[in-house]
């Protein structure tokens, strides 16, 4: 590593860097190194690294671990020309950015971190591709781990394709990047309604994690929660939820616990007693408040709305409207849409069911745009009661049959709509509709529902 004692001008082998001992841009002392690469200047003064870049259009804040950062730039200068749109300076900055994002994503710096990730996402993408192409899987793993929440909370679905690329390159073997790639692939399979595939991939991710002795990650466990719920094994489901909370205790990552609390309330909303998890929702709000995290608070408010929807609709509406606003500010398409769907469900209980199908169709279109079939299936569950209320029992029967093959099979909404359809239709019609639904894939079921909603809205 170069240190302030290596005061000299000269070229570093393999890279167009210049080092000198003079200060620059107002930063100067007797132990200063200035590194110049193209239009970018780095000044290491003491333990602080200052960056100026005309190309990136701003002056960056002081970066912690400055000497480690500078060492990365210098020691990897010889690979600068191999990057697609980055150079050695870029990837060092990107890795540092991702590591900081992973450590500080949920807290008072959340808005700033999200803005930085968004601003530099093109560079992040190119750096990840370079890592994969050159076999720098340790660096690629850091990037992929830091972006899990971008996929799950903010619906940046292209990250799923990155995981797929990893598994194409490393179809076998025990490397940490396979663990997170398998977890992301399992999550994607769940979104597609592929329950068995999701379970297999999630369990393989956990097994790789165990064999490598890695700290537990929450994403694969979240998938297993719904895999176990679909299989009708509540004991296993409860065990995984407890695992998630322990992950937060061991790692100080609040998302694992937040996901466990959020899922507990969501699962309760599929029962006759959603208010039984009111305390869990309040605990999640408290976690978001303590962490000063708008994302965790949004999750808590959605959970509160779900828990109160039947017994205290006015209070539930207030919580959900606040959640929708916070989610929009936090760039979370998924959470904003979930809040809107819960609001539609509350309106349905006191209004005309046919008027709810238009907004629900809008949500189907939103989730179609980001490729989230799982949220589309949840929207179909929300549509069952309106369909029954307006007498569209044939479509309700088709949807119930299709949903019976997904992780939502045990939802009380499916049970009630199926019973109403069976009682309201002739035995032959019900059987025909049910067989049609059973034969459909999740995507086909969503397309069938969207067309049916359009017909029903147009006829009213």
What is the residue range of 276's domain? 253-350
User: 343 and 399 share a domain?
Assistant: no
Is the residue at 149 inside a domain? no
- Alpha-carbon 151 to chain mean position: 3
* Domain final residue, candidates 350, 369, 391: 350
Is the residue at 389 inside a domain? yes
Measure the CA–CA gap between 137 and 165, rounded to whole angstroms: 12
Q: Which residue would you say has higher pLDDT here, 9 or 199? A: 199
User: 325 and 259 share a domain?
Assistant: yes
Is the residue at 454 inside a domain? yes
User: 387 and 451 share a domain?
Assistant: yes
pLDDT tens digit string along 49-72? Answer: 555 555 444 444 444 455 555 555
Tokens encoding 221: 């466990």
Q: % helix / strand / coil in the chain, to the nearest 5?
A: 70, 5, 25
The domain that holds 326 is classified in CATH as 1.25.40
Residue 19 phi, psi dihedral angles, 5° rounding:
-110, 145
Question: Alpha helix (H) ranges present in 234-276?
Answer: 234-251, 254-268
Is the residue at 423 inside a domain? yes
Is the residue at 191 inside a domain? no
Tell me the percentage of the chain whose pLDDT exceeds 70: 78
Is the residue at 202 inside a domain? no
* Domain final residue, candidates 305, 329, 350: 350
Q: State in Å, rounded, how far the first CA of the chain is from the last one.
A: 73
Is the residue at 459 inside a domain? yes
Measure the CA–CA gap between 295 and 365, rounded to whole angstroms: 24
Instruction: Grade residue 191 by pLDDT with cuts at 50, 70 and 90.
Output: confident
Query: What are the CA-CA distances from residue 278 to residues 240, 261, 283, 285 (Å)?
Result: 20, 11, 9, 11
Domain count, the chain: 3
User: 293 and 342 share a domain?
Assistant: yes
Is the residue at 1 inside a domain? yes
* Domain final residue, candidates 307, 327, 350: 350
Measure the CA–CA gap between 448 and 106, rounded to whole angstroms: 39
* 79 pLDDT above the threshold of 70: no
For 265-298, the DSSP string reads HHHHTTSS-GGGGHHHHHHHHHHHHHHT-HHHHH
* 208 pLDDT above the threshold of 50: yes
pLDDT tens digit string along 331-383? Answer: 888 899 999 999 998 988 766 666 788 899 999 998 887 778 888 999 999 99
């Amino acid at each position: 590593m170069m240190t302030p004692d290596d005061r000299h001008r000269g070229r570093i082998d393999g890279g167009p860097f210049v080092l000198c001992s003079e200060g620059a841009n107002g930063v100067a002392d007797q132990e200063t190194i200035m590194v110049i690469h193209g239009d970018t200047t780095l000044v290491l003064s003491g333990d602080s690294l200052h960056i100026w870049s005309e190309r990136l259009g701003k002056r960056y804040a002081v970066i912690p671990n400055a000497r480690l950062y500078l060492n990365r730039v210098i020691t990897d200068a010889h690979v600068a020309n191999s990057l697609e749109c980055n150079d050695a300076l870029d990837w060092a900055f990107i890795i540092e950015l991702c590591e900081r994002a992973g450590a500080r994503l949920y807290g008072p710096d959340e808005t700033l971190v999200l803005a930085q990730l968004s601003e530099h996402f093109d560079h992040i993408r190119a750096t990840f591709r370079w890592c994969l192409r050159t076999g720098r899987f340790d660096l690629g793993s850091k990037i992929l781990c830091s972006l899990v929440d971008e996929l799950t909370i903010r619906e940046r679905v292209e990250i799923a394709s990155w995981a797929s690329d990893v598994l194409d390159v490393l179809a076998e073997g025990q490397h940490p990047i396979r663990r997170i790639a398998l977890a992301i692939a399992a999550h994607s399979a769940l979104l597609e309604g592929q329950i068995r595939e999701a379970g297999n991939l999630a369990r393989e991710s956990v097994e790789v994690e165990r064999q490598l002795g890695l700290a537990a990650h929450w994403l694969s466990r979240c998938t297993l929660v719904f895999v176990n719920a679909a299989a009708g094994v509540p004991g296993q489901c409860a065990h995984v939820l407890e695992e998630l909370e322990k992950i937060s205790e061991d790692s100080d990552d609040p998302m694992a616990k937040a996901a466990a609390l959020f899922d507990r309330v969501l699962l309760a909303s599929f029962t006759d007693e959603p208010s039984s998890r009111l305390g869990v929702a309040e605990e999640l709000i408290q976690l978001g408040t303590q962490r000063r995290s708008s994302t965790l608070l949004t999750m808590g408010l959605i959970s509160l709305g779900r828990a109160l929807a039947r017994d205290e609709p006015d209070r539930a509406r207030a919580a959900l409207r606040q959640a929708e606003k916070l989610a929009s500010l936090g760039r979370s398409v998924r959470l904003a849409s979930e809040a809107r769907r819960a609001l539609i469900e509350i309106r349905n209980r006191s209004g005309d069911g046919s008027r709810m199908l238009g907004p629900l169709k809008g949500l189907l279109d939103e989730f179609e745009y980001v490729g989230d079939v799982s949220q589309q299936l949840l929207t179909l569950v929300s549509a069952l009661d309106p369909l029954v209320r307006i007498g569209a029992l044939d479509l309700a029967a088709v949807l119930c049959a299709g949903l019976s093959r997904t992780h939502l099979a045990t939802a009380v909404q499916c049970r009630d709509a199926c019973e109403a359809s069976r009682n309201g239709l002739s035995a032959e019609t019900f059987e025909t509709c049910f067989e049609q639904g059973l034969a459909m894939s999740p995507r086909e079921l969503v397309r069938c529902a969207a067309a049916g909603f359009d017909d029903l809205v147009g006829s009213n």
